[in-house]
Chains A and B, each alone.
Chain A
């Protein structure tokens, strides 16, 4: 029994040596994207198609990427899929959620529409490390669409 135990331990020891176990990485995670969304890394812009296929959304955070626990804002532009022109007007509701935790942000962001059609949402904050998803609901001329953009960079735990 003792010999078997020793042998088992030996194999475990050897296996762990050979494996070179990698410590837990608590830093930024590799990008993960929801279907229909894609990063444009050169500009830090994320895009997503609405679930009904009516509108295409482009968002950019300021700063990019946001830091854990700090406020950031989001610039959003909306295009009609049938055209490529930016929609001017409409109502945008932007939120961010943590699906695994089943909650959103602890803040109530406020959105302002600029004359050139850009929406600026201020008061966003990722208060926890982990996976965040941006939710966009847009209404214009009686049409309504919703898009989900998985945030590609988890806010690093270091702050």
Chain B
């Protein structure tokens, strides 16, 4: 009789013993707090090579690329002037609003409000400025394609800063003339009141507005010199905003520790993220599928998606969103390949843009998730109060009134994914604020 058959003969006793051991072991496992055994299953499982590559791609924060359309994008003097302009309330219609009113430094350059309040209430939520340097499009609907053209726009929106380009340049002329002229040459002779009114701007949709009429009375040459100087104000502010880079977050330290040595034996990695955050991270890149849109080191695909968020109020009118913004950016006189650009080379993002792409209807830009725990409320109109509420939206995908159709990639969140785990992971994306000297106009 072979040894193998002897083992088979004894197997009933062994099976009985095995069964007993299983029952004892199971009782022990079952008696442990649920957090403990879930942690062993999910949080401590080693990452696969493919997963590690994905984690590395999420953690690789890069320096922004130089902006070809803004020749002063890397200039320290321009960035310093831009910082002072960013925080200066004199650059608004009522003298009380600055860029920093809606993009407050201590709130990670957001304002904590659903809809921002400039001179009046604004329809949209103020997104963070941290990490936006290389975005191909700006605003929730992507109606601008450069940081500098975006930075210019709020000055002349009545609900935001409610001023005019001539009035902005009057402040620059009075307060910042020396650094501005050192960068860009002489400002227009704003002292000449016969040529330059106190306030003037083009308003094509309201040509009888006093500011529009004043603008029309100026000579074409003076209008052009004012507009070019106003563009340079935007380029200085953009040079400052390019310095607002995301800081290293616990998630980044976790990934660095994982990649530096064997994760199973690396207590440093484990110390950076809680078991809940690690489970959330697994879900994020796995069965929750968040990574389909929130990818890359800034956790955004820089694209536009219709996620079917509810309207901010029952009276609100659904917006065309990107379907409108795409046409607007193509028609923008300040587009990055236009005559106000320092490098009017064709921009592929505009050349190949398909404004008629049907999925753009009701689609908004994918926000970065860097520092997301500090930048609520969420959604283009701030209609989602908390991270857990946002995850619950993705869990249920409730019917709501909106234009277009919800992105077909969206499926109700897998029931096994815990909201608390995803929230814990998202909280691990909070890094420090940018350097102290960038946080005020002083």
Contacts and interface: CB of A to CB of B under 8 A. Distances in A.
A103 B303 CA distance: 14
Interface in B273-307: 282, 285-287, 291-293, 295-296, 301-304
Contacts of A138: none
Nearest to B285: A26
B201 to A, nearest CB: 33
Contacts of A27: 50, 53-54
Task: Point out which of B47, B54, B348 has the most chain A C-beta atoms below 10 A from its C-beta.
Answer: B54
Interface in B128-187: none
A129 B359 contact: no
A68 interface: yes
A117 to B, nearest CB: 24
A42 interface: no
Given A6-B26, A25-B50, A71 B291 contact: no
Interface stretch (B207-215, B231-239, B349-357): B349-357
B47 to A, nearest CB: 7
Interface stretch (A33-41, A79-87, A107-115): A107-115
Nearest to B53: A158
B360 interface: yes
B400 interface: no
A116 interface: no
A122 B348 CA distance: 10
Contact of B301 (A3, A128, A158): A128
Interface stretch (A9-17, A44-52, A53-61, A140-148): A9-17
A127 interface: yes
Interface string A73-117: 000000000000000000000000000111111111110000000
B25 interface: yes
A24 B47 CA distance: 10
B23 A110 contact: no
B301 A71 contact: no
B25 A10 contact: yes
Interface string B5-46: 000000000000000001101110110000000000100010
B352 A129 contact: no
Q: How large is the interface on A (under 10, 10 to 19, 20 to 34, 35 or more residues)?
A: 35 or more
B141 to A, nearest CB: 14
Nearest to B292: A129
B54 A157 contact: yes
A102 B408 contact: yes
Contacts of B287: 24
Given A157-B291, A157-B292, A158-B56, A23 B51 contact: yes
Contacts of B27: 6
Contacts of B262: none
Nearest to B363: A106
Contacts of A158: 53-54, 56-57, 295
A139 interface: no
Contacts of B408: 100-103
Given A13-B29, A157-B54, A24 B286 contact: yes
Contacts of B47: 23
Nearest to B409: A101
Contacts of B23: 3, 6-7, 10
Contacts of A26: 50-51, 54, 285-286, 291
Contacts of B54: 26-27, 157-158
A68 B53 contact: no
Contacts of A125: 352
A24 B48 CA distance: 9
Contacts of B106: none
B315 to A, nearest CB: 31
Contacts of A109: 352
A72 B233 CA distance: 35
Nearest to B360: A106
Nearest to A8: B26
A154 to B, nearest CB: 12
B358 interface: yes
Nearest to A16: B41
B295 A68 contact: yes
A52 to B, nearest CB: 28
A65 interface: no
Nearest to A14: B22
Nearest to B357: A106
Given A24-B286, A27-B54, A68-B301, 5 more contacts: A10-B29, A130-B292, A157-B285, A158-B56, A158-B295
25 contacts: A6-B23, A6-B30, A7-B26, A9-B26, A9-B29, A9-B30, A23-B45, A25-B50, A26-B50, A26-B51, A68-B295, A69-B303, A103-B357, A106-B304, A106-B359, A108-B353, A108-B354, A110-B352, A122-B352, A129-B292, A129-B295, A130-B292, A130-B409, A157-B291, A159-B57
Please give me the 6 A-B residue pairs with the lowest Cβ-Cβ distance, nearest first.
A10-B26, A123-B352, A158-B57, A27-B50, A107-B352, A24-B286
